[in-house]
Amino acid sequence: MFAFLFPGQGSQSPGMGSYLYENFKTAKETFEEASDAINLDLKKLCFTGTVEELALTENTQPALLTVSTATARVLTQDIGVKSNVTAGHSIGEYASLVLGGSLKFSDAVRAVRLRGQAMQSAVPVGQGGMTATLGLTEEQVLFLCDWTVKTSGHSPLSPANYNSDGQIVISGSMKALEWLKSNFKAEILPGEAKRAKLIPLQVSAPFHCEMMKPAQHKMEEFFKSISFSDSKIQIIQNVHAKAETNAEILKHNITEQVSAPVKWTQSMHTLKGLGQPNCIEVGHGSVVKGLLKKIDSEYFKVYSTSTLEDLKMIENLGK
């Protein structure tokens, strides 16, 4: 048994998923199903779209979901790989819901297309942003956000992605982030932070913070007409880093996730607590693999699925 882990935004790149489409009927049908669901040519977007086109969050989210779901279907249906637990980083959690049978794929594709549009329109361009903090503990990051808001007078600012120990992304007001960049000194933090760094991220909106509440409300309205089912496998959700299978809980948490921080580090500790060291990064790239290496490289063994050779390696593990 493997844990299926799905990547989030930032893992996309032109050409992703093309080898799946060319080699597996299952994947081809998945791309066609997604394209029909939102009247968008996902094959064209993923295979020949530009970096800029793929970076538009309303395109990124359905593209990533499609590639991740196509990969999962090839693994389970064509190769025979079994999964007993899953988690997805931010948008990746939708692929977990599809894998568990909690959310129909066509509904998930429509949901993430709307999610991307809603998140982009929630905050005018330039008013919000995100910054990666490196070398800081969770306590230090929380202190930094609180100190910035109180001292600068600009808000909000809060942790958005707990990616790994020492790598936490903060999100919120661009004025607050710019003030922090100009006024940050490691000496103001509790404890030691000699190697602390702040790196502004090139993103189109301040994801996973309270500025995303308007987008969350739109998702709440959308999900009122969407049916969720209990998941067939455990899904470790971003909001609280706990494993869930109940339909109503899954629905509530995936909605809250829009403005809540992604507790990825905590989720991976939950995965470890479940006794699941063998993981597959189901989808394009190796971002998740890199994060787990930082979280616990001795415990986790992560396999990639970006090439046909990767899939053959996984297939051979089961023989």
Look at residue 256 in the predicted model and tell me its pLDDT: 98
Residues 282 and 156: their CA atoms lie apart, in Å, by: 34
Residues 2-122+210-317, CATH architecture: 3-Layer(aba) Sandwich (3.40)
Q: Which option is the CATH number for 128-200: 3.40.50.620, 3.90.1170.50, 3.40.50.300, 3.30.70.250?
A: 3.30.70.250
Q: Going along the chain, which residue ranges are E strands?
A: 2-6, 83-88, 128-134, 157-164, 167-173, 197-200, 234-236, 243-244, 278-281, 301-303
* Residue 144 · residue 150 · CB < 8 Å: no
User: What pLDDT, in 10s, does the model give residues 88-114?
Assistant: 999 999 999 999 999 999 999 999 999
pTM of the model: 0.95
Which value, to the nearest 10 degrees, does the dihedral of the CA atoms of residues 162, 164, 165, 166 take? -80
Give percent of the chain above pLDDT 70.
99
Three-state SS sequence of 57-87 = HHHHHHHHHHHHHHHHHHHHHHHCCCEEEEE
User: What pLDDT, in 10s, does the model give residues 208-253?
Assistant: 999 999 999 999 999 999 999 999 999 999 999 999 999 999 999 9
Domain ranges in the chain? 2-122+210-317, 128-200
Residues 312 and 319: their CA atoms lie apart, in Å, by: 11
User: What pLDDT, in 10s, does the model give residues 287-308?
Assistant: 999 999 999 999 999 999 999 9
Catalytic residue among 208, 267, 284, 304: 208
Q: Is 252 a catalytic residue?
A: no
Catalytic residue among 11, 35, 68, 90: 90
Look at residue 37 in the predicted model and tell me its pLDDT: 97
* Residue-averaged pLDDT of the chain: 95
Look at residue 319 in the predicted model and tell me its pLDDT: 57
User: What pLDDT, in 10s, does the model give residues 26-77?
Assistant: 999 999 999 999 999 999 999 999 999 988 889 999 999 999 999 999 999 9
Question: Are 2-122+210-317 and 128-200 in the same CATH fold?
Answer: no
Does the pLDDT value for residue 162 go beyond 60?
A: yes
Q: Is 208 a catalytic residue?
A: yes
